[in-house]
A and B are shown apart, each in its own frame.
Chain A
Amino acid sequence: GEDVEQSLFLSVREGDSSVINCTYTDSSSTYLYWYKQEPGAGLQLLTYIFSNMDMKQDQRLTVLLNKKDKHLSLRIADTQTGDSAIYFCAETNAGKSTFGDGTTLTVKP
């Protein structure tokens, strides 16, 4: 079945760039998403990329997709303390979304 894997933890200093990586197995995934979850809250959609794209930039966020290696990354430029949260990668195929276990990003001042 589908599987999505992420590293569990990432720690960076305020002002640095953060890169969160994700690998997935379903080659027929049509959409790939990044969600953010803050403590005590649900998931919030950050950005997405269609499977026929290589890169998408949205303000401080850059998503890179290597479809051959089934590798997705999220780069956050100029990381702020408010970016501290859990980030989930998700793949979607035929309406069903499979999520990774989430990467906890800690931003140190």
Chain B
Amino acid sequence: KAGVTQTPRYLIKTRGQQVTLSCSPISGHRSVSWYQQTPGQGLQFLFEYFSETQRNKGNFPGRFSGRQFSNSRSEMNVSTLELGDSALYLCASSLGSYTGELFFGEGSRLTVL
């Protein structure tokens, strides 16, 4: 069974640009969550999508947005990038049954210059 796939793995952007990250969950998983990981802030929850609907949301500004498609694939977008957005963005999929058992991808490492 294929795991969670995130693309791209690495990317470099400049301040003010926008970026779109993609996540393909494990087949059959309907929930996709996104996390931001930085050395200073640890693992911060961004949002969770289940069956194309945002079910949970963390405390991030509106520049961070996401969506989920009918095949459960998800994208997150960050607009007007800031230096502080440099981080590892992790996607996790689950069956969505509220058990919290998450399967993580390897992440997309974003560097903002």
Residue A44 is within 8 A (CB to CB) of chain B in the complex: yes
Q: Is B101 a contact of A100 with CB atoms below 8 Å?
A: no
Q: Does B55 contact A (CB under 8 A)?
A: yes
Inter-chain contact total with CB atoms closer than 8 Å: 64
Bound Cα distance A43, B42 (Å): 13
CB contacts (< 8 Å) of A102 on chain B: these are 42-43
CB distance from A87 to the nearest CB of B (A): 12
A71 smallest CB distance to B (angstroms): 19
Residues of A within 8 A of B26 (CB): none
* Closest B residue, CB atoms, query A96: B56
Query: Chain B interface: which size bin?
Result: 20 to 34
A42-B4, A45-B101 given; A98·B45 CB < 8 A: yes
Chief secondary structure at chain B's binding surface? strand
Chain A count of residues within 8 A CB distance of the other chain: 23
Q: From residue 67 to 88 of chain A, which have CB atoms closer than 8 A to chain B?
A: 88
**CB <8 Å contact, A42 and B101:** no
Complex CA distance for A101 and B35, rounded to whole angstroms: 13
* Contact flags B90-113 to A (C-beta < 8 A → 1, else 0): 101000101111111111000000
* Nearest CB of chain B from residue A25's CB, rounded to whole Å: 15
A100, closest chain B residue (CB): B42
Residues of A in contact with B (beta carbons under 8 Å apart): 30-31, 33, 35, 40-45, 48, 88, 90, 92, 94-102
Q: What are 25 inter-chain pairs, A to B, with CB distance below 8 A?
A: A30-B99, A35-B104, A41-B106, A41-B107, A42-B90, A42-B105, A43-B43, A43-B90, A43-B102, A43-B104, A45-B103, A48-B101, A92-B98, A94-B56, A94-B98, A95-B31, A95-B96, A95-B100, A96-B48, A97-B33, A97-B102, A99-B42, A101-B42, A102-B42, A102-B43
